[in-house]
Structure 1
C-alpha cells in the first residue's frame, strides 16, 4: 500500500504557475488541425483544404497562424507543361494572404508523365478587433493556363495552427 499525496495550489494547478498574477484567460491558447488524406483540386475552383476554429476573448487579440500544405501536380504525357497553384489563408471570407507555386512554359522528357511535388508554408499574424469565434481556412486554387497539359492537382499533408495571444488585461468597470 502506498500513500499518494498531490499538492495543488488554490487555483488547481499542479505545477508552479502565475495564476494569481495572470488569470488563465490571459494565457496564450493553441489551436490546430491537420490531415494527410489526398484531396483533388478541380481547375479554377477554389477548394477548402483545411479549416480551423479560433475563439478570442478580448479586443485586439493577436493570432499567429502557421500553415503547411503539400501539393502534387501530375502532367499529361506531353513534354510541355505550365501551371499555377495558389494557396490562400482566409479569416471567414476575408483573404489574409496567399502564396503561389507556378511553373510556366516548362519542357520535360517526351512520352513521360511528370510528378511535381511542392511544400508551401504560410505564416501570418492576424489582429482580431472584436472578441468572438472565427474560422480560418486554407484554400487551394488550380488556375488554368492555355496548353497547360496538367492531368491533376492534389494536396495531401496539410496543417493549420493558431496561437491566440490576449492583448491586454481587461480593465475593470469604473463605478460612478
Structure 2
C-alpha cells in the first residue's frame, strides 16, 4: 500500500482537486480571561460525497504564574467544523506547588487530531480555538500560544 501526496508551498497541489491544506503562525498570542480565542482557521473544499479529511493540529503553550507558591490552571482547546464541535483537548494542573516568591513558567504542546467524513461536497471551515477555565484558575499571570499549525489532508476516491 502506498500513499501519494502532491502540494506546493501554498499547500495546494497542481491538479484541480486540492488534497493538502495548511495554516500556521508563530507570533505570540494571548489567551485572555472570559473569552474563547480563535487560534487558526482553515478553509477546505470537498468535491465529492463521503470524502475523508484527516486533520492534525499542534499548539505550543506557555503559562506563567504569579509569585505565590500555589497555582492552578485549566485551558481547553477545541477543533470545530463550521458550527459543529469535533473534538477537544484539555490541560489542567490543579493545586500545584512551586518555589514561593518566584514566577513559574510552564511549557507544553497540545495536539488535536481528527478524521472527518463529509457526506456532501462543499466548502468547510475548520477552526482551532482555546479558552481559559477561570473557575479553576489561581495565581496565573499569562497564558500564551506560540508556534501553532492546522493541517488537513483530503483523501480522494
The TM-score, its normalising length taken from structure 2, stands at 0.87
Residue 150 of structure 2 corresponds to 160
Could you tell me which runs of 5 or more consecutive residues in structure 1 were left unpaired when the two chains were aligned. 1-23, 169-176
Residue 67 of structure 1 corresponds to 57
Of residues 90, 95, 100, the one that matches 2:90 is: 100
CA distance in 2: counterparts of 1:75 and 1:117, whole angstroms: 12
Secondary structure of residue in 2 paired with 1:52: strand
Larger Rg: 1
1:146 Cα shift? 5.1
1:144 aligns with 2:134: yes
CA distance in 2: counterparts of 1:28 and 1:62, whole angstroms: 13
Report if aligned partners of 1:84, 1:103 keep a CA contact under 8 Å in 2. yes
5 Å-filtered alignment, 1:3-22, equals none
1:139-171 CA distance string (max 9 Å, x none): 0111113561100111010000001112x4xxx
1:123 Cα shift? 1.1
Residue 3 of structure 2 corresponds to none
CA distance in 1: counterparts of 2:59 and 2:24, whole angstroms: 10
1:64-120 CA distance string (max 9 Å, x none): 000000111110111010010111100012100000011000010000000111101
Report if aligned partners of 2:18, 2:45 keep a CA contact under 8 Å in 1. no
CA distance in 2: counterparts of 1:49 and 1:74, whole angstroms: 19
- Sort the Cα spacing of 1:147 and 1:128 in 2 relative to 1 into closer, same or farther, 3 A: closer
CA distance in 2: counterparts of 1:90 and 1:155, whole angstroms: 18
Could you tell me which runs of 5 or more consecutive residues in structure 2 were left unpaired when the two chains were aligned. 1-14
The TM-score, its normalising length taken from structure 1, stands at 0.77
Residue 116 of structure 2 corresponds to 126
Give the ranges of 4+ consecutive aligned residues of structure 1 lying more than 2 Å apart after TM superposition.
none
Of residues 10, 24, 28, the one that matches 1:34 is: 24
